[in-house]
Amino acid sequence: MSSLHAFEKRLKESVESADKVIIVPHLYPDFDAIGSAIGLSVLVSSFNKDAYILVDDAKESINDKVLDVINSFYGNCKFINLEEYLQIKSNNDVLLVSDTNKKDMVCVSDYLTDFKDIFIIDHHKMDLNTINTDVDNIFVDDMYSSTCSIVSKFLIDFNVLFSSRVATYLYSGIVLDTNHFTKSVDPYTMSIVTKLLEMGADVEKVNNMFKRDNIQNLKIYKLVNKAKLIKYPLGFAGIAIDNDNCYTREDIAIAADSILDCMFQNDSDLSVINDVNASFVIAPVDSNNYRISARSNSSGIDVCKIMEYIGGGGSKHSAAALVPIDTADKVLKKLYTTLQNS
């Protein structure tokens, strides 16, 4: 991976010699993926190039508030779907991948070889599924709290002026990936937040973007309530499994965050309260697949390693995997054994 400065230089040069730039956030885009894609489009526009953000997910599979951002976005860049991309593509386009580095997490995976250059901007660990590109075109650093903080840094470094609306979207990605400033909080992230607030990021608007309705809240609460405490060598993990109800990926992720925030009464001695340092939530997302969201804090296990072991990925304290229903039992066993052997 190249240094931040070298990467920025290379990105500018490549964009300036391209026909146009396609920006692709990960599938099932969240605020970090969309916010960073919008930030990148502002950067590309400052280089006087046309930018298109490519989102091809079915509307039903995108979070309502993320969809609001996509639908209400106006500016120099356009949101397009895969079909529209195929109509305008040329062999001198540059692709910017935001908030993922995995081939199977971008809708454009079948056309990667058609781009002049591919740049990856992300904060998840790389693995065998990482998109193949020049090593100097990769800026992937899991020390960053969010992709929005990386992209904000680019904008600041290039002295790009951006609107309060864009600052708001970038801020929303940081709020999401720090779970409202409760994890991955560091002076660097906060210095970026300071800058975004100075640029007019609207905290109340972002608070509203994160509001959940009471029905969703209750559903998540019931899932959290299923959590059972498991002792493992590094402490206690909270594991919630629901085989009967279908959830969104987001619900499962929020439940995993919530379990990590809980203290649990010990089953055998109710006077003992245990803190968990890892959480796992396992539930179906459709009729064929379970989703596992895993979280840990600094004294807990590296959940990325565990999720990689069962075919997923993420970062040290926040990771996930998709598990086909017919292998769910096996995967659970694997999860328990890995935890016990950690």
Please report which helix (H) or strand (E) contains residue 164, including its range: helix 164-177
Nearer to Mn ion, 16 or 186 (CB): 186
Smallest gap from residue 310 Cβ to Mn ion (A): 21
Binding mask 92-111 for Mn ion (x = CB under 5 A): -------x------------
Say how far apart CA 51 and CA 21 lie, in whole Å: 5
Q: Restricting to residues 131-160, which ones interact with Mn ion according to CB under 5 A?
A: 146-147
Q: Restricting to residues 27-56, which ones interact with Mn ion according to CB under 5 A?
A: 32
Length of the chain: 342
Residue with tokens 């599979």: 61
- Is 250 a binding residue for Mn ion by CB under 5 A? The answer is no
Nearer to Mn ion, 319 or 331 (CB): 319
- Is 257 a binding residue for Mn ion by CB under 5 A? The answer is no
Q: Restricting to residues 282-301, which ones interact with Mn ion according to CB under 5 A?
A: none
Smallest gap from residue 99 Cβ to Mn ion (A): 4
Nearer to Mn ion, 141 or 202 (CB): 141
- Is 177 a binding residue for Mn ion by CB under 5 A? The answer is yes
Stretch that binds Mn ion, among 24-32, 61-69, 236-244, 308-316 (CB under 5 A): 24-32
Q: Where are the beta strands (DSSP E) in the chain?
A: 21-25, 51-54, 78-80, 94-98, 117-122, 138-140, 228-232, 235-241, 263-265, 273-275, 278-284, 289-296, 313-315, 318-324
| Dihedral of the alpha carbons of 154, 159, 163, 166, in degrees to the nearest 10 | 0
**At a CB cut-off of 8 Å and minimum separation 6, what does 248 contact?**
63, 285
Residue of minimal Cβ distance to Mn ion: 32
Determine contact, residues 288/300, Cβ cutoff 8 Å: no
Q: Site size for Mn ion, by CB under 5 A?
A: 5
- Is 122 a binding residue for Mn ion by CB under 5 A? The answer is no
> In terms of DSSP bridges, do strands 138-140 and 117-122 run parallel, antiparallel, or are they unpaired?
parallel
- Is 251 a binding residue for Mn ion by CB under 5 A? The answer is no
Nearer to Mn ion, 117 or 177 (CB): 177
Determine contact, residues 170/203, Cβ cutoff 8 Å: no
The residues that touch Mn ion, with contacts defined as CB under 5 A, are 32, 99, 146-147, 177
